[in-house]
Amino acid sequence: MNIVVEGAIINKHCPSLWLYDNILTSQGAQILADSIGNTNILQELFLDGNQISDIGVHYLALILNRSTLTSLSLSENGITDQGAEYLAETLKTNRTLRRLWLYHNRIGDRGMQMFADTLTRHNTTLEWLDLRSN
């Protein structure tokens, strides 16, 4: 993971990173989050089909307001209402993220309600939120 982070994000000024189906865990998400918080280059991050879980989402949510990410895909990562809460809280103040994919996770009614509240009261930037098959 450190090689990808250093080579693609830091040194190569890569605007998009696609890491589908790589068995990426919360530890890998933490490494990515640390790097994303230190660059203003990365705009799109696609992490579908990994094992990031709520803990990894927490790390990513912490840096979203310091990042230039406009697209984030966390589909098929075992995310529950807890992870949805981390993201919904961040979206209250985030002004860069435009597209968020969270399909095929385990987000329930509580998580859906948190997103609904955030988007109707606080966030006008997000244009696309995909929550199907939760």
Say which CATH number the domain at 77 has.
3.80.10.10
- The 10s digit of each residue's pLDDT in 68-112 is 999 999 999 999 999 999 999 999 999 999 999 999 999 999 999
3-state SS assignment for residue 114:
helix
In the block, residue with structure tokens 């966030």? 123
User: How many structural domains is the chain composed of?
Assistant: 1
- Strands 71-73 vs 99-101: parallel, antiparallel or unpaired: parallel
Report the alpha-carbon distance of residue 20 to residue 42 in Å, rounded.
16
User: Which pLDDT belongs to residue 100?
Assistant: 99
Dihedral sign of CA atoms 121, 125, 128, 129 in order: negative
**pLDDT of 1 higher than 60:** no
Does 36 have pLDDT greater than 70? yes
Range of the domain at 20: 2-130
Please compute the mean of the pLDDT values over residues 42-70 and round it to a whole number. Answer: 96
CA atoms within 13 A on the CB side of 44: 10
More confident residue, 3 or 106: 106
Computed over every residue of the chain, the mean pLDDT equals 92
Per the DSSP assignment, residues forming a β-bridge with 44 are 16, 71
Instruction: Judge whether residue 6 has pLDDT over 90.
Output: no
